[in-house]
Amino acid sequence: MSFEPKIVAFLCNWCAYAGADMAGTSRLKYPGNMIAIRVMCSGRVDPEFILEAFEKGADGVFIGGCHPGDCHYVSGNYRTRRRVEMMKRLLEEMGINPRRLRLEWVSATEGQKFARVVKEFVEEIRQLGPSPIKKEEAI
């Protein structure tokens, strides 16, 4: 059976989630491998969520937030940027390919961009193969 990546996406309410909506209402096609979780701000995404998503079986984790300067809560997305940067390095030291974690800025009008980055990400994860992290299996 061919490998279908499972992607968990955290999308901020004000931009990325609206962008995903836009992609939908514009009838743009993108792969259905993604489970979207709406959060009020990308800054709500505690790095623990990222690790937990991987432990529960995600092959990739996607975070979508407002463009720098546009965060509804002023600086949430800057925190996210730093956290993601640090998480990537942590994942790498754990022996996990940091490309499994992706941060993108998507505004409410960028339905096109949303569809494109999701498609790219799904393809990238498909190439990387299944994540080795799943906890239950390891035990």
Partner 1 sequence: MKKKIAMYWGAGCGGCDVSLLGIHEKLLDVLEKADIVFWPCATDFKYEDLEKMEDGEIDIAFYNGAIRTEENEKIAKLLRKKSKILVAYGSCATEGCVIGLANLYDRDEIFNAVYLDNETTPNEKKIIPQGMEKEGIELPEFLPSLKTLEQVVKVDAAIPGCPPPSPVLEEALNALLEGRTEFGKEVALCDECPRKDTKPDKIEIERFYRWHEKEDDGSCFLAQGMICMGPATRAGCGGECTSAGIPCTGCMGPVPKVENQGIAMLSAIASIIEDMDEEKERAVMESIKDMVGTFYKFSTAKLLPYGRFKDES
Six token digits for residue 12 = 């901020």
Alpha-carbon distance 73 to 19, whole Å?
18
Six token digits for residue 1 = 């059976």
Identity of the residue, 36 or 128, whose beta carbon is nearer to partner 1 in the bound complex: 128
Alpha-carbon distance 23 to 62, whole Å?
16
- For ligand FES, the binding residues in 113-132 under the rule CB under 6 A are none
Alpha-carbon distance 112 to 4, whole Å?
23
Instruction: Give the number of other CB atoms < 10 A from CB of residue 135.
Output: 11
| Residue 41-80 contact track with ligand FES, rule CB under 6 A, x = bound | xxx---------------------xx----xxx--xx---
**Binding interface with partner 1 (CB under 8 A):** 46-48, 51, 68, 75, 78-79, 81-83, 85-87, 89-90, 93-97, 100, 128-129, 131-133, 138
**Binding interface with ligand FES (CB under 6 A):** 12, 14-15, 41-43, 65-66, 71-73, 76-77
